[in-house]
Amino acid sequence: MTLYLGGGTMLLQLLEKVKDYLSFGCSVQDLEAWLVSNLQNILDSRDTKAINLANKLDADLVELHEGLIDNVTFRRRLQDYVMDALTIARIAEWEFKDRETLTSSPDAPMVPLTMSIHDPIKTQRLSLELV
- Could you report the per-residue pLDDT of 68-123, keeping only the tens digit for each? 999 999 999 999 998 887 765 334 334 333 344 444 444 444 444 444 444 444 44
Model pTM score: 0.62
116 occurs within a structural domain: no
pLDDT of residue 111: 44
115 occurs within a structural domain: no
Amino acid at residue number 123: T
- CA pair distance 29, 96, nearest whole angstrom: 34
- CA pair distance 111, 64, nearest whole angstrom: 40
15 occurs within a structural domain: yes
117 occurs within a structural domain: no
51 occurs within a structural domain: yes
What percent of the chain is modeled with pLDDT above 90?
50
How many domains does the structure of the chain reveal? 1
Beta-strand relationship, 2-4 and 111-117 = unpaired
Q: Which residues pair with 113 in a beta bridge?
A: 128
pLDDT over 50 (residue 32)? yes
Containing structural domain, residue 49: 2-106
| Average pLDDT value over all residues in the chain | 74
